[in-house]
Structure 1
């Protein structure tokens, strides 16, 4: 499974505004941005992202996944504070 396929899967499954996926070998990093995370605990946010990926994790197509979730408002703030100078 490649990064674009994971992005598409997550955007469709969770109605995300944005999904950014990078990989380093078999380790994938996911940044998911959507209103669906508003009011959810961090655990629930992680579970929401894992759910559509579970089939691929159990099959071994995805080995390791790191997830960061943001609402659109949080994502705007995150981008401002982490912009390179």
Structure 2
């Protein structure tokens, strides 16, 4: 079952309540997300992206995952 952009944003918002989050994509399987959050300060890009993937709670896990591809941009606020 595909995931909708708003559902993905809501899921990310649970882990990053104060973040700037922008989710784009209309096919429910291939999407992009930008997450800008203070919790990323001091983390490298891999650590930031791991935190986001953990927030997805298995939605991308294996061939049965709801989301097949996610182009991800993460950073701490300027």
The alignment status of 1:69 with 2:71, answered yes or no, reads no
Q: Report what 2:45 is aligned to.
A: 42
Structure 2: unaligned runs, 5 residues or longer: none
Counterpart selection for 2:17 from 15, 24, 35: 15
- Count of aligned pairs: 73
Report the 3-state secondary structure (helix = DSSP H, G, I; strand = E; otherwise coil) of the residue aligned with 2:74. strand
More RCO (CA 8 Å, sep 6+): 2
TM-score, normalised relative to structure 1: 0.76
Structure 1: unaligned runs, 5 residues or longer: 74-85
Q: Report what 2:32 is aligned to.
A: 29
Report the 3-state secondary structure (helix = DSSP H, G, I; strand = E; otherwise coil) of the residue aligned with 1:62. coil
Q: RMSD value over aligned CA atoms?
A: 1.5
TM-score, normalised relative to structure 2: 0.81
Give 1 or 2 for the bigger CA radius of gyration.
1
- Structure with greater helix percent: 1
